[in-house]
Structures are given as structure tokens and as C-alpha cells.
């Protein structure tokens, strides 16, 4: 049984192998206790989304934000997604959690849109969500509810959904593409699947895994992988996002390589909604006339920005 637990962990990490550790064991009593608290937490306000911006490397314009879930647990404090998403994924709670995240992200998009801040939204989907044939209709209904054009929503998926599947998940994905939402392949370069799916599945964006980006200045192999991915994206007409950009030099190198979009701690850590609103209000030029940016805070905030040096 423990070998099986380790095998699941290896598949999830895309690492090829993992050594069993009681921490990864879903039958671990602490984990079972945590999972039993998901359902009640979904009815309350414990799950919150933080948002991390993505910027165009060419001109530093805001390309969008990615919604990242956090659990404000009453006893444990802030619980990170890696501690509960893999548990939830194996239970019937995955659907309510996925719908919760989608609805919350779209609601936030709507709030920003009403403020005159037009910012595309990206949401992470668990590969197992693609086995849910009701998902496309539910996404479509939510887009209507929040008056959001489908093109403003990007769904981020790791390649692992291609490995699990019998064809159902590619059908669900095709349905989502038909609705008009954008499809992004997350953690690109860490999976084992063939590249032909990039065309076949109408992918719009690839996100180079942060392990390559964070390390590309130190390791020529990582740099080569980033360059090759940017080239691949260009040839296939896909947007390429580099995640895990942690310093100015990496930002500049990515711009020189011709990468489209960057995301990472150098630009901003994931922020709670109010802080993200302030961050966007300073940079997002697409504002409503009734809601002008006050002159002084803008100057102040820009002076503190890591992008000032660019
Ligand atoms: P991801 O989709 O690859 O998300 C990016 C992760 O990288 C985030 O971790 C983010 O905080 C972190 N990150 C961003 N910039 C940097 C950087 O410059 N350096 C470093 N070292 N890290 C950076 P986070 O928020 O802990 O999320 C971890 C993973 O959990 C996500 O990886 C995603 O796979 C999953 N996840 C998060 N939210 C959701 C969700 O709502 N639904 C599902 N299904 N999965 C989610
Ligand atoms: Ca992601
Ligand atoms: Ca990623």
C-alpha cells in the first residue's frame, strides 16, 4: 500500500520516483482530519484566492492575473494548496471546490471590471476536473453570471491530464475551447507526453515550469530548455509565459530571448484581493473615467516597484 502511495506521489510530482513518507500518505490521520474539514469550509469564508500578476516582457503591461487558492484554517493558520489539493482531488469534494474557485475568480474579475480595471483571469484546474462532463456547461453558465467574455478566462492545466485519460478529458477540453476560453499548459517541460497535443487540443499558451526559469542563469541546460520552449511557442503561434521570475536579470534575459509574458516574485508575490486591487490600480491603464488614479500614490508605488530599474 505504501508503494502505491509513493507511486501516486511520483506521478503527481512528475519526478519519476518518490520514496514513501508518512507525510504523503492520505490515510494519515492528520490528513483525514483535514479532508473532513473541507466541506464545511466551502460553506464559509475559509477558502480565499490570492492573485499573482503576469506582465508582458515587451512593455511591462499587465497580461493577466492567476488565482491561487489558500485555506485560512481556524486552527492551522494559512494552509497552502499542496497540502490539501492532492487530497481533495481524490474525493467527491473536487467538483464543489473547483466550482467555488471558478466562481470566486470570476466574481473578482467582475468587481475589477466594474472598477474599470480590465484584467484577464487565469484559474488552475485539477487534471481530474476534466473527467467531469458537466464542467463546460457550468463554466459557460458562470461566464454569463459574471458577464465575462470567455476569452478573458484562461484555464491552466498540467500535461498529466493527457496520461490519465480515456478520451473523456480531451472531449471536455475541446468543449471548453469551443466556448472560447483560453487553454494554458502549466508546468510545461515536466511531463512526459508527446508534443503533438499542443496543436490537437487547441492550446493557446504554455507556461515554462519555474524550475527551468529560476535556474536558467546558473544552468546552461535550463537556459537551453527555456529558449527551445520559446522557439516552439513562436513556431506554433502560442503565447509563452515564464513563471518563477525572481530577479531583474532573468526578466531581461527572457525579454532578450523573445518570451512573451513573465510571472514571479520579482514582479509580485501572490497577493490577497485588496492588495492586488491596489497593485493593479497603479499599473492598469485601462481605467474607467469615474475612477481616476490619484497622482501621488502612483508615483510612490512606482518608486517602490522592482520594475523601476527596467
Ligand atoms: P502553479 O499553478 O504552478 O502556481 C505557481 C506557484 O508558484 C504558486 O504556488 C506561486 O506562489 C509560486 N510562485 C510564483 N512565483 C514564484 C517565484 O518567483 N518563485 C517561486 N519559488 N515560486 C513562485 P502556490 O500558490 O503554493 O500554488 C502551488 C500549486 O497549487 C499551483 O502551482 C497549482 O498547481 C496548485 N493550485 C493553486 N491554486 C489552485 C486551485 O485553485 N485549483 C487547483 N486545482 N490547483 C491549485
Ligand atoms: Ca498555474
Ligand atoms: Ca506552474
Q: Please report the pLDDT score of residue 293 as a whole number.
A: 38
Kindly write down the DSSP assignment for every residue of 171-192, as one continuous string. HHHHHHHHHT-EEEEEEETSS-
Pairing of strands 261-263, 239-243: parallel
User: Distance from the CA of 295 to the center of ligand 3, in angstroms?
Assistant: 35
Question: What's the pLDDT band for 309 if we cut at 50, 70, 90?
Answer: very low
Say if CB 67 and CB 121 are below 8 A apart.
yes
Look at residues 58, 48, 68, 46 and name the one whose alpha carbon lies nearest to residue 268: 68
Q: What is the pLDDT of residues 118-143, one digit of tens each?
A: 999 999 999 999 999 999 999 999 99
Atom of ligand 1 nearest to the CA of 266: 18
Cβ atoms within 10 Å, residue 152: 20
CA distance 276 to 153: 18
* Residue nearest ligand 1's atom 25 by CA: 68
**How confident is the model over 167-195, as a mean pLDDT?**
90
pLDDT beyond 60 at 62: yes
Taking CA atoms only, the protein residue closest to ligand 1 atom 10 is 270
The band of 6, judged by pLDDT with boundaries at 50, 70 and 90, is confident
**196 confidence band (pLDDT: 50, 70, 90):** confident
pLDDT score of 294 more than 50: no
Atom of ligand 1 nearest to the CA of 158: 34
Strand locations in the chain, DSSP E?
47-56, 62-73, 77-79, 121-124, 153-158, 182-188, 205-208, 239-243, 261-263
Q: Which range has the worst mean pLDDT, 118-127, 195-204, 261-270?
A: 195-204
User: For a pLDDT cut of 70, what percent of the chain falls above it?
Assistant: 89
At residue 61 the predicted structure's pLDDT band, cuts being 50, 70 and 90, is very high
**What local confidence, expressed as pLDDT, does residue 186 receive?**
95
Which residues, judged by CB distance below 6 Å to any ligand atom, belong to the binding site of ligand 1?
A: 52, 68-69, 80-82, 85, 101, 124-126, 156, 186-187, 210, 214, 243-246, 264-265, 270
245 Cα–ligand 3 center, Å: 12
CA of 124 to the centre of ligand 1 (A): 9
> Tens digit of pLDDT for each residue in 91-100?
899 999 999 9
> In this structure, how many other beta carbons lie within 10 angstroms of the beta carbon of residue 192?
10
Give the closest ligand to the alpha carbon of residue 244: 1
Tell me, in angstroms, the distance from the centre of ligand 2 to residue 35's CA.
Answer: 22
Residue nearest to atom 7 of ligand 1 (CA): 244
Do residues 287 and 37 lie in contact, with contact meaning Cβ atoms separated by under 8 Å? no
pTM: 0.87
CA distance 150 to 179: 7
Nearest-ligand number for the alpha carbon of 54: 1
Distance 289 CA to ligand 1 centre (A): 34
**Which region among 6-10, 179-183, 277-281 has the lowest average model confidence (pLDDT)?**
6-10
Entry field: residues in the chain: 310
Cα separation, 34 vs 41, in Å, equals 10
Among 3-7, 105-109, 151-155, 278-282, which is the least confidently predicted range? 3-7
Q: Model confidence at 26, in pLDDT bands (50, 70, 90)?
A: low
Query: Would you place residue 277 in the very low, low, confident or very high pLDDT band (cuts 50, 70, 90)?
Result: very high
Amino acid at each position: 500500500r505504501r508503494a502505491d502511495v509513493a507511486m501516486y506521489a511520483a506521478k503527481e510530482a512528475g519526478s519519476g520516483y518518490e520514496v514513501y513518507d508518512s507525510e504523503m500518505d492520505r490515510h494519515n490521520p492528520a490528513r483525514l482530519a483535514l479532508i473532513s474539514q473541507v466541506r464545511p469550509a466551502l460553506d464559509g469564508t475559509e477558502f480565499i484566492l490570492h492573485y499573482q500578476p503576469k506582465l508582458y516582457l515587451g512593455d511591462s503591461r499587465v497580461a493577466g492575473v492567476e488565482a491561487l487558492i489558500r485555506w485560512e484554517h481556524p486552527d492551522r493558520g494559512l494552509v497552502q494548496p499542496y497540502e490539501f489539493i492532492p487530497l481533495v482531488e481524490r474525493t467527491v469534494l473536487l467538483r464543489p471546490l473547483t466550482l467555488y474557485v471558478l466562481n470566486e475568480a470570476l466574481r473578482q474579475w467582475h468587481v475589477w471590471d466594474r472598477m474599470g480595471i480590465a484584467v484577464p483571469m487565469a484559474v488552475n484546474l485539477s487534471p481530474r476536473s476534466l473527467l467531469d462532463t458537466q464542467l463546460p456547461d457550468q463554466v459557460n453558465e458562470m461566464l454569463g453570471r459574471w458577464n465575462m467574455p470567455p476569452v478573458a478566462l484562461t484555464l491552466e492545466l498540467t500535461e498529466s491530464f493527457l496520461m490519465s485519460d480515456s478520451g473523456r478529458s480531451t472531449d471536455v477540453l475541446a468543449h471548453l475551447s469551443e466556448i472560447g476560453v483560453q487553454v494554458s499548459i502549466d508546468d510545461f517541460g515536466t511531463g512526459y507526453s508527446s508534443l503533438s497535443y499542443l496543436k490537437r487540443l487547441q492550446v493557446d499558451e504554455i507556461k515554462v515550469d519555474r524550475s527551468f526559469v529560476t535556474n536558467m542563469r546558473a544552468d546552461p541546460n535550463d537556459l537551453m530548455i527555456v529558449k527551445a520552449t520559446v522557439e516552439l511557442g513562436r513556431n506554433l503561434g502560442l503565447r509563452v509565459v515564464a513563471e518563477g521570475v525572481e530577479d531583474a536579470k532573468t526578466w531581461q534575459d527572457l525579454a532578450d530571448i523573445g518570451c512573451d509574458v513573465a510571472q514571479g516574485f520579482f514582479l509580485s508575490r501572490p497577493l490577497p484581493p485588496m492588495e492586488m486591487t491596489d497593485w493593479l490600480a497603479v499599473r492598469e491603464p485601462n481605467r474607467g473615467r469615474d475612477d481616476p488614479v490619484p497622482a501621488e500614490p502612483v508615483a510612490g508605488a512606482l518608486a517602490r516597484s522592482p520594475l523601476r530599474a527596467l
